[in-house]
């Protein structure tokens, strides 16, 4: 048996080496499951979330702030994560793009303009879509299937029969994540769904489902077990009773991702799903991961399976390491039988072992042990793993392409090796519509084969990485669409060149910060699109997209901006604690990461500028670090402040939140992803555990009050337990006691909280569906604003000078809204029946209708409006807004909707548009005609100048304001 085969065994063997220390083999997938996934959970029923969504909809209609407008400020330049592309076969100029969290959009003019179609539903996450031939009927499987750390659960399957204007949730609410939706082209009322099921828990609705009545009822056609769901399904275009389904056994926890399992397999049915046969001749067992299926439209007997193999690759000997003969490499070492290894020259062995074994183990002694038999194959392997637990992972996680030419009777691996190209996050495949031997696979890169998978070459190299969707026009194969983490790309020359359609604000922002410049700038970290800086005055569709400038790479993480000099120094980060700093005036850059052995950093590791001096920086790993020199060096203020829960392949038990009291230097609070909350009153000399009543839930934010010493706020969420409970806590005694202030918040995970700097009673929270505000320190909450879709708010900040709230949407980039309305809402105003904020009356009446225009243009009837903002205490419903002259005659009026609270309305002053085609008068006969306007009939007519009463009648009440048009 070769050394590689010995190592590939999943049984954990042990070896006693000469130092007396025992080392274990790296765990196999079965061991990984037992170690990190032994406790099974059930998700909170999705009915609770649907009820919460209905509550949110009611709150939107009842909020006193419901008319305050949000505005999008970009960014657009980077795009956002795409989950699927669909183009109707009979309407190829209609292109539907589904984003992982950024909604569903349609363009009818090759990406010039877009229409959002799915903005205010109970789910914003999308797994897959399919559309009818005419593009009118859309089936949408909610909940992204890529199983990433922010792959949000959906609320079932949605259907639209009017091209996305209206939607109906047609069921499968507990499916959470949907990998594929397929319409039967021969019977549009028959639809297949590959339901993957919950990500962080077991059970739920998993497997292959089918409806034959347009979604009224569903039948489960294929089920494996409570851990395994369906990832993909394809139908034979000749006979839709023939279908292939790819099942995926996967489970994610905050500390580990189990990407594979024995439930993963490919199945085939020939009777519409009544019976299924498990395909043989393919990978199977614990290492079988996500699989993508691609059927050839031109020869449906040809099917490709793109398999994520999480185990050893038995064809590893074919790997080309680019090393000349005569050198012992890792692959050659793993392939050689132990007896052959023992025959190697001492020098070859020494060069191989140098740097691969612990320093205390002398290379000469180990070589001697190999030669005299005292060092076994297992012993050497464990010695190498002591130095680096991943040292022997060369042959793990391989993409494999399998092909059948006979409808699944036999399968053949098309190429011995593909490398680490696939994985749980990608794995899609597409066959050319006219050539069964031309196939594309999507992973980190897009690979193309023209010989049935035997050889491959990358295409779209200039496109963003991490590819999730690919479409080829069946009528014009030169026209292609590619969707990835950077958005949408189009090619018109079969992939030789690509254009980026980056005119949608669909960035997945995770963090947000602002500077003190005028106008201020916004800084945000994004998933897989680095850190961007852009102006708060940005207007999507009008501003130059490059005004949002990249100032950091990777997956953008925590940001802090030095308050001095308008934001001279900015601190950015990417995943797992890669912190850096930059002086924006001098462009000096430096590493701002705390160094040390065995530090664990969260994916978004926290950083804080001390409120006591901007040169003081706090940074969180599992420990708290402090710098007095802008992050150039750090001292540890603690040991491990977490529960130190065993980690798998994801760093866990890491700090996620840091806060320092502005009242006392060194009074610091920290929170962790494992629920730990601690504080120190003395810069880390002593620490105290102050866990909340939810001690196992991820801490998303800690805030130290600017109004009272010892007052802190903490938010947590159960996203990683598939739970939607809102956790918002307040303490006035440094966390000795906690009080829930979630109050009337719907069941939506809470991501962040902020305290208003001007009023201690005003609080803001961001949840997985939007923003809420409290005017009474959390005794009650209201939704805030209008014009923004339901969106996961990962972070928010208040720019005090501008009196604006800025949010990081993990779906739709950055949004801004005024909070001046909250600040101006005094108790006196709240008790008033009516209060006028602003009344804006247009001026220059004598010029209306007489604006100069170019000779080639017809005169325009420009809008002239009176804008009125006001507060009403009790009136609610439809009303009438009118303008009444001094003679008592009504000049103009319209019906308006008035809501209890702050209102914004306008009344147009245009009476009649002119006729641009009316002929001008010629040849005056009188002196009066000589002075007359010959184009009077072409000019718009407006309300005459004069004094008026602006009158609002609603709910039996009448409110007026004096208006003068002049």
Low-confidence ranges of the chain (pLDDT < 50): 1-26, 395
Backbone torsions φ then ψ of 766, nearest 5 degrees = -115, 130
In a domain, 640, yes or no: no
Domain's final residue, options 379, 395, 411 = 395
pLDDT digits (tens, 9 = 90+) for 869-886: 999 999 889 999 999 999
> Can you give the pLDDT at residue 314?
55
| Burial status of residue 844 (CB atoms within 10 A of its CB: 0-12, 13-18, 19 or more) | exposed
H helices within 524-611, ranges in order? none
Q: How many residues does the chain have?
A: 966
pLDDT of residue 360: 84
* Cα–Cα separations (whole angstroms), residue 649 to 196, 255, 574, 676: 22, 7, 18, 21
Q: What is the pTM of this model?
A: 0.91
Give the residue among 93, 160, 161 at the shortest CA–CA distance from 126: 160
Q: Cα separation of 379 and 357, whole Å?
A: 11
Answer yes or no: is 795 within a domain. Answer: no
Q: Output the six-digit token pair for 355.
A: 């740097």
The predicted pLDDT at position 392 comes to 73
C-alpha to C-alpha distance for 783 and 764, rounded to whole angstroms? 10
Residue 943 DSSP class: P
CA distance 92 to 859: 38
DSSP string, 321-373: ----TTS--HHHHHHS-HHHHHHS-HHHHHHHHTTTS-TTS-HHHHHHHHHHT
Rounded CA gap, 638 and 687, in Å? Answer: 8
Q: Which structure tokens are listed for 113? A: 């303009």
Say what the pLDDT of residue 397 is. Answer: 64
| Residue ranges of E strands in 423-479 | 428-431, 439-442, 446-449, 457-459, 467-472
Angle at the Cα of 204 (from 198 to 208), degrees rounded to 5? 90
Is 925 within a domain? yes
Question: Could you tell me which residues come within 8 angstroms of residue 454 by beta carbon, excluding any fewer than 6 positions away?
Answer: 414, 415
Residue 27 lies in a domain: yes
Q: Which domain holds residue 942?
A: 829-965
Residue 154 lies in a domain: no
Q: How far is CA 52 from the centre of its chain?
A: 21
Q: CATH number of the domain that 918 lies in?
A: 2.60.40
Q: Tell me which residue of 698, 578, 715 sits closest to 659, measured CA to CA.
A: 715
In Å, how far are 837, 850, 964, 966 from 844, measured between CA atoms?
Answer: 23, 11, 12, 6
**Counted domains in the chain:** 2
Assigned domain for 102 exists: no
Cβ atoms 447, 440 nearer than 8 A: yes
| Residue where a domain terminates, one of 380, 395, 410 | 395
Cα 894 from Cα 58, distance rounded (Å)? 26
Closest by CA position to 909, among listed 869, 858, 966: 966
121, part of any domain: no
Rounded distance, CA 846 to CA 140, Å?
55
The answer to whether residue 904 sits within a structural domain is yes
Q: Single out the residue in 345, 378, 395 at which a domain terminates.
A: 395
């Amino acid at each position: 048996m070769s050394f590689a085969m010995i190592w590939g065994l999943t049984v954990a063997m042990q070896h006693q080496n000469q130092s007396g220390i025992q080392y274990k083999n790296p765990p196999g997938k079965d061991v990984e499951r037992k170690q990190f996934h032994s406790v099974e959970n059930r998700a909170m029923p999705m009915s609770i979330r649907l009820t919460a969504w209905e509550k949110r909809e009611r709150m939107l209609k009842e909020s006193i702030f419901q008319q305050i407008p949000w505005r999008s400020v970009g960014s657009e330049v980077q795009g956002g994560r795409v989950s699927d592309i669909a183009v109707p076969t009979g309407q190829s100029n209609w292109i539907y793009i589904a984003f992982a969290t950024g909604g569903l959009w349609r363009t009818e003019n090759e990406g010039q303009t877009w229409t959002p179609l799915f903005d205010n539903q109970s789910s914003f996450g999308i797994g897959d879509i399919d559309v009818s031939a005419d593009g009118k009927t859309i089936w949408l499987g909610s909940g992204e299937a890529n199983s990433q750390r922010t792959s949000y659960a959906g609320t079932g399957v949605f259907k639209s029969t009017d091209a996305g204007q209206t939607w109906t949730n047609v069921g499968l609410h507990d499916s959470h994540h949907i990998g594929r939706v397929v319409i039967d082209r021969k019977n549009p009322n028959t639809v297949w769904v590959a339901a993957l099921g919950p990500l962080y828990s077991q059970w739920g609705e998993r497997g292959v489902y089918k409806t034959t009545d347009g979604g009224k009822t569903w039948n489960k056609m294929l089920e494996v077990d409570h851990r395994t769901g369906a990832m993909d399904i394809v139908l034979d275009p000749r006979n839709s009773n023939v279908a292939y389904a790819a099942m995926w056994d996967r489970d994610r926890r905050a500390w580990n991702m189990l990407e594979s399992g024995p439930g993963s397999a490919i199945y085939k049915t020939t009777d519409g799903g009544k019976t299924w046969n498990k395909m043989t001749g393919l990978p199977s067992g614990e290492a079988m991961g996500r699989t993508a299926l691609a059927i050839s439209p031109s020869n449906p007997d040809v099917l490709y399976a793109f398999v994520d193999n999480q185990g050893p690759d038995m064809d590893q000997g074919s790997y080309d390491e680019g090393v000349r003969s005569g050198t012992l490499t890792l692959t050659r070492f793993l392939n050689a039988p132990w007896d052959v290894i023992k025959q190697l020259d001492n020098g070859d062995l020494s060069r191989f072992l140098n740097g691969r074994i612990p320093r205390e183990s002398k290379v000469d002694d180990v070589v001697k042990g190999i030669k005299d038999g005292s060092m076994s194959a297992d012993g050497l392997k464990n010695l190498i793993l002591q130095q680096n637990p991943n040292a022997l992972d060369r042959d793990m996680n391989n993409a494999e392409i399998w092909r059948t030419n006979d409808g699944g009777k036999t399968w053949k691996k098309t190429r011995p090796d593909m490398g680490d190209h696939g994985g749980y996050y990608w794995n899609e495949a597409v066959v050319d519509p006219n050539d069964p031997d031309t196939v594309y696979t999507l992973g980190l890169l897009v690979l193309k084969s023209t010989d049935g998978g035997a050889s491959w070459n990358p295409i779209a190299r200039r496109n963003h990485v991490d590819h999730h969707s690919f479409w080829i026009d069946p009528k014009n194969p030169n026209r292609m669409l590619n969707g990835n983490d950077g958005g949408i790309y189009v090619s018109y020359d079969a992939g030789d060149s690509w254009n980026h359609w980056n005119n949608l604000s669909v960035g997945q922002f995770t963090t947000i910060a602002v500077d003190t410049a005028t106008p201020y700038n916004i800084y945000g970290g994004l998933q897989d699109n680095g850190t961007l800086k852009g102006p708060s005055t940005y207007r999507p569709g009008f501003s130059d997209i490059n005004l949002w400038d990249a100032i950091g790479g990777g997956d953008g993480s925590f940001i802090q901006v030095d308050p001095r000099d308008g934001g001279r120094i900015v601190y950015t980060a990417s995943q797992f604690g890669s912190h850096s700093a930059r002086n924006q005036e001098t462009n000096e850059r430096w590493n701002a990461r705390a160094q040390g052995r065995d530090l664990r950093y969260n994916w978004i590791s926290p950083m804080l500028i001390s409120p006591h001096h901007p040169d003081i920086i706090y940074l969180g790993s599992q420990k708290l670090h402090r710098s007095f020199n802008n992050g150039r060096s750090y001292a540890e203020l603690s040991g491990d402040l977490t529960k130190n829960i065993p980690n798998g392949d994801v760093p866990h038990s890491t700090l996620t939140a840091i806060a320092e009291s502005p009242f006392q230097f060194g009074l610091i609070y920290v929170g962790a992803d494992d629920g730990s909350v601690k504080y120190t009153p003395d810069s880390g000399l002593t620490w105290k555990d102050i866990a909340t009543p939810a001690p196992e839930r991820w801490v998303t934010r800690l805030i130290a009050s600017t109004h009272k010493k010892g007052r802190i706020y903490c938010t947590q969420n159960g996203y990683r337990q598939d739970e939607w409970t809102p956790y918002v806590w307040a303490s006035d005694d440094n966390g000795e006691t906690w009080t829930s202030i979630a109050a009337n918040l719907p069941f939506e995970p809470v991501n962040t909280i902020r305290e208003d700097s001007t009023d201690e009673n005003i609080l803001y929270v961001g949840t997985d569906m939007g923003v809420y505000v409290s005017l009474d320190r959390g005794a009650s909450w209201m939704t805030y604003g209008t014009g923004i879709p339901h969106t996961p708010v990962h972070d928010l900040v208040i720019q005090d000078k501008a009196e604006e709230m800025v949010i990081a949407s993990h779906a739709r980039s950055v949004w801004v809204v005024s909070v001046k309305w909250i600040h101006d809402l005094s108790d006196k105003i709240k008790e008033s029946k009516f209060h006028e904020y602003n009344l804006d009356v247009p001026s220059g009446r004598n010029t209306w209708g007489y604006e100069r225009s170019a000779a080639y243009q017809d005169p325009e009837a420009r809008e002239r409006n009176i804008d009125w903002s006001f507060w009403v205490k009790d009136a609610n419903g439809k009303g009438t807004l009118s303008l009444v002259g001094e003679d008592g005659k009504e000049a103009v009026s319209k019906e308006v909707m008035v809501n209890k609270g702050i209102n914004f309305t306008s009344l147009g002053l245009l009476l009649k548009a002119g006729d641009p085609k009316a002929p001008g008068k010629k040849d005056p006969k009188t002196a009066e005609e000589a002075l007359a306007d010959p184009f009077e009939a072409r000019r718009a007519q407006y309300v005459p100048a004069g004094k008026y009463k602006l009158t609002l009648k609603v709910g039996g009440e009448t409110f007026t304001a004096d208006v003068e048009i002049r």
